A and B are shown apart, each in its own frame.
Chain A
């Protein structure tokens, strides 16, 4: 278990969320909003902005944990044409709802962060790619962007300077794969969203062939705070290598599902039992997904695991997108895994054979198992398919994630799989019937 540091400071992202009408520019500004962007464009250089974010230790909150300042510094400084920030607002990871929560509460925070990021990479336009289902956040961002233009904070001369900055919106139309950054770029270019092979990486050849940094909503929403308070202040929060705070969404079998901002380093027990109110009365937590459905599951015996990003990686799982799905003892792990495999099979873009074929293979195997037609053979198939989906056999992580669901649920709940496959019994359901 990683260290737990003492309490330092307060919330970052949700600092102002108790204020009514925070989505309106005048309210956001009255609390200090847009002071960071003003300072950046009027007083700072791009290198200084990157240094400040570097000092904060901020790492990407979309799931890959990649250091944000490093990502920005990969964008070539001497590129003659346009460079872009692309905001990944395609939040579709099962269990994750925090980007929606941030955008609905404080759209200007994202817009300000995206504009600062554009400045940092020497670009002039940020494109927010937002999933099509997010109607309300889309409308709020659209209105907020036009407010910022009207006020002269975006446009040809933001804050009276000669550094044009714009934030644009692009709506997705329903495809989980668009959360993968190169698939998102394909989609933004008006194509079927199929991941690209890398290299070239987006920093060299991204949106419309131009150097691009793709950042998550939460990552960019953190940036204005860092510029207001300094990177060092942000770095006081969190653990040694996982600085700061982050959003988590807790869903499933808990009494108070919700979005919570946590200091990185708190335990899952704290989040699930204290913040989210623990299991339903009379129930026990059985298993949880620590960072979206794509993170390998951890059994309840590991609730004391820290949210430290590298600690989770060392356990073979990840903090991912912060979506914590909790399942209690009234639910069958095999059925849960079967449902998720249906998801991954459906969302496979079809480009890579292991993912396209393996996902469906797993779904059919789960269907046989749940129809009482399982045997030792099905257990073997699941193990082989799980392996075939993983280990970099595909262009993106979707196939791996599908494999991880099978592998991790089988590793921790082999007994439930064997009951289903070998004895056609679901002890979870049997217990409910007898209760």
Chain B
């Protein structure tokens, strides 16, 4: 009896052929294993290693290097909240506190009682113009507020109407701002790409960096 399904093992065995050298398949394989098993157990990693004809220690060494591989149980929905500088300047630490309270956990990685949620503080997600941001269920949630967090949690606790995935998130506002040197003060660029001004300067709290 294996942890991973026969079908998945078969899929993993076919991965190496897709790359110039078979070893490149290790991350895609771990990805598949994690998707199926929820997180990477020692057994799952061993089975990946066997399917790829690699040493289990090697596979575990790769898994432990990258933050998106989880070796502990995690929530079905994970809040990856960015707390790097740009997000912290716009209140990311308050967002983290709110998430903790809303899902009822005390520390990163801890599962909520219903097993649905966990959170992690992560480094820059590369969406700094929408700070504070987080990644949730393979999509970015931008311009976070406490109300928005509450809404996202409620949708996932009672997911009846429609899956809250991905619609209308493409790109960011169209139309590029193009600045020309020497433009005088007050002259607007050809097109504005900036976002709407935030309401007011945020007060600093003890926790923000």
Residues from chain B with a CB closer than 8 A to the CB of A386 are: none
Contact with A along B47-70 (1 / 0, CB 8 A): 000000000000001100111110
**Contact residue among B69, B181, B196 (Cβ-Cβ distance under 8 Å from A265):** B181
List A contacts of B209 (CB < 8 A).
Answer: 335-336, 338-339, 342
Interface residue? A328 (CB, 8 A): yes
A298 at the interface (CB under 8 A from B): no
Interface centre among A276, A339, A340 (most CB of B within 10 A): A339
A261 within 8 A of B: yes
A318-335 CB mask vs B (1 if < 8 Å, else 0) is 000001010110111001
Contact of A256 among B174, B183, B195 (CB under 8 A): B195
Interface size on B, residues (CB 8 A): 77
A105 x B180 contact (CB < 8 A): no
Judge whether B139 is part of the interface by a CB distance below 8 angstroms: yes
* B128 contact from A10, A104, A257, A432, Cβ within 8 A: A257
The answer to whether B125 and A133 touch across the interface, beta carbons within 8 angstroms, is: yes
| Chain B contacts for A271, CB-based, 8 A | 179
B83-109 with Cβ < 8 A to chain A: 83-86, 88-90
CA A65 to CA B60, docked complex, whole Å: 36
How far is it, in angstroms, between the C-alpha of A136 and the C-alpha of B170 when the chains are bound?
A: 8
Chain A residues with CB under 8 Å of B128's CB are: 94-97, 249, 251-252, 257, 323, 325
Cβ of A253 and Cβ of B89 under 8 Å apart?
A: yes
Residues of A within 8 A of B20 (CB): 82, 207-208, 210
Q: Distance in Å from the Cβ of A24 to the closest Cβ of chain B?
A: 11
Verify if A134 is at the interface (C-beta below 8 Å from B): yes
Known contacts A104-B170, A133-B126, A136-B139, A255 near B197 by CB under 8 Å: yes
A17 close to B179 (CB less than 8 A): no
Q: For residues 265 through 298 of chain A, which have their beta carbon under 8 Å from a beta carbon of chain B? A: 265-266, 270-271, 274-277, 280-283, 293
Candidates B27, B170, B195; contact of A190 at CB < 8 Å: B27
Q: Is the CB of A136 within 8 A of B183?
A: no
A173 located at the interface, meaning its Cβ lies under 8 Å from any Cβ of chain B in the complex: yes
Among B110-118, B145-153, B200-208, the stretch in contact with A: B200-208
Judge whether B189 is part of the interface by a CB distance below 8 angstroms.
yes
Residues in A with CB closer than 8 Å to B28 are: 171
Closest 8 CB pairs of A and B: A14-B176, A256-B194, A339-B209, A174-B67, A251-B128, A173-B66, A255-B197, A190-B23
